[in-house]
Structure 1
Amino acid sequence: MSQTAVAGLGAPVVQAIDTPWARGTVAAGFEPVAAAFATAPRGGTALGAACTIIHRGETLVDLQGGFRDKRRTQEWRGDDIALVYSLTKGLTGLAAAVAVARGLFAYDEAVADIWPEFAAHGKGAVTVGEALSEQAGLAAIDFRLTLANLNDEDAIAAAIARQKPKWSCGDLAGNHAYTLGWIASELIRRRDPQERNLGRFFAEEIAEPLGADVFIGLPDHFNRARIARITGFGLPDLFLKHTTMPWALTLKMCLPGTLAFRTLNNPLLLRGPGQLDCETFWRVGQGGAGGMASARGLAAVYGAFAEGGERLGLTPAVMATLAKGHRPPRAGLKDRVLGADLYYSYGFEKPFAEWEFARTRSAFGSFAVGGSLAFADPEDRVAYAWITNQLGTGKWDDPREKIVRDTFYACLENRP
């Protein structure tokens, strides 16, 4: 571990980290974060991982550790990307926020005013904000999804539009594991003058202006050698390696007919999320679970929001809306699919009493199956991203990630 100065007037001193389990840099005073980060690769609970944390525009933590291949022959490098599963929902929320700021639609506008077919089965009053906050009852759809048809947005949008909701909008919320992305994409492409879908809109309005390696739909030109491959889990692992996932959800995921089964096993019937780590899925640009990103890229896009959104043309009104959060469901925060409390808001999760993932309630972001987490906290001006290619079997607050986040905030509290 050597101390080096970053070029530039007033630049902070950083520690260069170069060990088998943690590589990269941390700002002076944040050395304990590197030790915390290294525990997962060193202990074998993560094949590889990466973490980038920005505070007030300054990168305080930029670490990678372990390996990006299952044979453990290729070290995870700083610009490597991985499939980030439900972290994609947060990216979809960011794209929707930019669309609102551009005047394409409003959060309180009825979805059916933009997408008339959506009004079927009494959905005519559902607002954009309610749909993006996973309150519309469309977690599962009566449409057999396969890897071959996931890119047929017209057919899938038609299926969502004609779907009968599983609960009354606004009463409950539930994890729209895949459908959230298609709903957002349909809203954008119906109002965007260029008729761009979610993936193209995100690329051109967010990722490319920020120079961030974050994709909802991996382009052909991207170097596949930079992809950290996923080590997933199978059905037996949910029982044999059970950690923090609610037992009720574990059982429901395996019982045909339950909402959890119908939501989480379409398209991959009981095959586990690791099966999505393939070229076909990378290309699709599925806005609920198909994002590909580096930790650096995720921190960069959330960093633009943490700094107020001006770089992306976000208005103060939109930023205030995201910070405040959508009105919670009338029946409380218990997720109708996952069976645990979660606060969904405009494509993100928000902190609440049972899960204070940031220091302030202004934060918004998303967690993913396997343990990854990314968020922005505009009040604290923090952007955080921790990703892994070895999927854990818990819910949020994966211990491999949480120790890094807790250590970071402890160091931040002690910073002059």
Structure 2
Amino acid sequence: MAVDDKAVRTAVRAAIDAGDEEAVHVVAYHDGRKVIDVWDGLADPASGRQAAADTLYNVYSVTKAVAATALHIQAERGHVDYDAPIADYWPEFAANDKGKATVRHALTHRAGVPLMPEGVTPETMCDWAYMTGAIAAMEPLAPPGEKTLYQSMTFGWIVGEIVRRSDPVGRDFRQYVLDEIAAPLGLADLWIGIPDAVEDRIAVMSNRNENDPPPPAATLYARSMPAAVDLVPPVFERPDVRRACIAGVGGIFNARDEARFWAMLAGGGALDGVRLLAADRVASFSNIRDNGDEPDPVMFGIPIPISVGGYWLGGHRVSSPRAIWHPGAGGSLGWADPDQKLAVAVCHNRMFNARDPKDDPILPISKAVVAALGLEWKS
């Protein structure tokens, strides 16, 4: 049965007309079927290039959900034990009293290594061997497992290196995702390091918050995302950064393919007859990790609701308290609601940091999607 997407189109256009967005692409799957596919706006306001069905968008930390899923695939195949020390797969990580940090600690932001290496630059950030070596050599801010310390950027290198080291054929992380997630699900545009051929389809970013005062340089927040490699257009539109495998924040996705990724999770690990994860494993992801309401010093004492699977869990931006999801810097998000078999991806190119739900231009779009499908917004 066809879905009336008029309200979704109206919500997208309203956000653009208000100046809150430039281009938006929202895609939803329900019960394994694509039911909403709406895009509008300008992918490049300077040239007048319109957004299109195949436009690509920077999604920043939404990439972490793909990295976590890659690690779960390794666990599914018996190559990784969640409760094993990271050093069992990556011996160098044991340096400076990190030997007790487990794979689960890495997934749930409790490995004690949230800060980027001192002196990091865009060039060194693009060097996987440099970054993993520098992170392995770091001293933890707290004993592994003791407290939540959100791994704003380091998550991708820690989780990605566990995947790389545990892969029987030793693929780099970018290739692992292409082979084990993108190819089976038919995802042509789920990139963590783009090829040259797709560059002209990437939406140009703008930053609504670019004139906000930066956080003090000494804060853990600023040290987890140093100014030299901050999650902003001047850094992440660099050609070398676009092509690098930056597994925590470097994803450049098409909304259709991102939504298929979330649809696999909403379907209990399977989509269109392709199973990547067992249903009981995926069901466990809707459980909050221990200390789920613990204040996070990196995030100015705000608790981050991380599930045992490493995804975010519930909250006002998604349809259910049991939905697993991930936001990205600037407002991107995607989620999988296991109870309603709903998956949604929202990609855009006008970054913002909403300080209040009423200031979030994506929230009305998300709610319009759920309403159009006759489903319930439970959050």
TM-score (norm 2): 0.90
Deviation at 1:55, TM superposition (A): 0.9
**What amino acid does structure 1 have at the position aligned with 2:306?**
Y
1:108 matches 2:83: yes
Residues 386 and 326 from structure 1, CA distance in 2 versus in 1: closer, same or farther, beyond 3 angstroms? same
Structure 2: how far apart are the matches of 1:214 and 1:143? 30
Q: Secondary structure at the match of 2:217?
A: coil
Alignment correspondent of 2:190:
214
Equivalent residues of 1:234, 1:272 under 8 A apart: no
CA offsets 1:361-387 (integer angstroms, 9 cap, x no match): 332121011111111122221111111
Structure 2: how far apart are the matches of 1:107 and 1:380? 28
Deviation at 1:263, TM superposition (A): 1.0
Structure 2: how far apart are the matches of 1:64 and 1:72? 18
1:313 matches 2:276: yes
Q: What runs of 5+ residues in structure 1 fail to find an aligned partner? A: 1-11, 14-26, 240-252
Deviation at 1:169, TM superposition (A): 2.8
1:302 matches 2:262: yes
The number of residue pairs the alignment matches comes to 369
Q: How does 1:351-390 map to 2 (within 5 A)?
A: 351=314, 355-390=315-350
Structure 2: how far apart are the matches of 1:414 and 1:191? 40
1:344 matches 2:319: no
Once superposed, what is the RMSD of the aligned Cα atoms?
Answer: 2.2
**What amino acid does structure 1 have at the position aligned with 2:131?**
I
Q: Secondary structure at the match of 1:103?
A: coil
Alignment correspondent of 1:62:
37
Alignment correspondent of 2:221:
260
Structure 1: how far apart are the matches of 2:298 and 2:91? 27
Deviation at 1:191, TM superposition (A): 1.1
Equivalent residues of 2:59, 2:333 under 8 A apart: no
**What amino acid does structure 1 have at the position aligned with 2:212?**
L
Q: Secondary structure at the match of 1:189?
A: helix
Alignment correspondent of 1:204:
179
Structure 1: how far apart are the matches of 2:294 and 2:71? 22
Alignment correspondent of 1:3:
none
Alignment correspondent of 2:140:
165
Q: Secondary structure at the match of 2:336?
A: strand
Deviation at 1:234, TM superposition (A): 6.2
Deviation at 1:359, TM superposition (A): 3.6
Equivalent residues of 2:209, 2:353 under 8 A apart: no
**What amino acid does structure 1 have at the position aligned with 2:338?**
P
Q: How does 1:17-28 map to 2 (within 5 A)?
A: 27-28=3-4
Residues 177 and 161 from structure 1, CA distance in 2 versus in 1: closer, same or farther, beyond 3 angstroms? same
**What amino acid does structure 2 have at the position aligned with 1:344?**
I
1:407 matches 2:368: yes
Deviation at 1:294, TM superposition (A): 1.0
Deviation at 1:177, TM superposition (A): 1.8
Equivalent residues of 2:74, 2:166 under 8 A apart: no
**What amino acid does structure 2 have at the position aligned with 1:259?**
L
**What amino acid does structure 1 have at the position aligned with 2:229?**
L
Q: 2:159 aligns with which of 179, 184, 189?
A: 184
Structure 2: how far apart are the matches of 1:317 and 1:265? 39
**What amino acid does structure 1 have at the position aligned with 2:277?**
L
Deviation at 1:136, TM superposition (A): 1.5
Deviation at 1:205, TM superposition (A): 0.6
Residues 187 and 261 from structure 1, CA distance in 2 versus in 1: closer, same or farther, beyond 3 angstroms? same
CA offsets 1:13-58 (integer angstroms, 9 cap, x no match): 2xxxxxxxxxxxxx13x43222112211122211111110111112
Q: What runs of 5+ residues in structure 2 fail to find an aligned partner? A: none
Deviation at 1:81, TM superposition (A): 0.5
Deviation at 1:111, TM superposition (A): 0.9
Structure 2: how far apart are the matches of 1:274 and 1:171? 36
**What amino acid does structure 2 have at the position aligned with 1:380?**
Q
Deviation at 1:290, TM superposition (A): 0.5
Deviation at 1:89, TM superposition (A): 1.0
Q: How does 1:66-81 map to 2 (within 5 A)?
A: 66-71=41-46, 73-81=48-56
Q: Secondary structure at the match of 1:223?
A: helix
Structure 1: how far apart are the matches of 2:362 and 2:337? 17
Structure 1: how far apart are the matches of 2:170 and 2:155? 19
Alignment correspondent of 1:6:
none
Alignment correspondent of 1:150:
125
Structure 1: how far apart are the matches of 2:68 and 2:320? 19
Deviation at 1:127, TM superposition (A): 1.3
Residues 280 and 184 from structure 1, CA distance in 2 versus in 1: closer, same or farther, beyond 3 angstroms? same
Identical aligned residues as a percent: 27
Deviation at 1:350, TM superposition (A): 1.1
Residues 149 and 341 from structure 1, CA distance in 2 versus in 1: closer, same or farther, beyond 3 angstroms? same
TM-score (norm 1): 0.83
Q: 2:212 aligns with which of 235, 238, 241?
A: 238
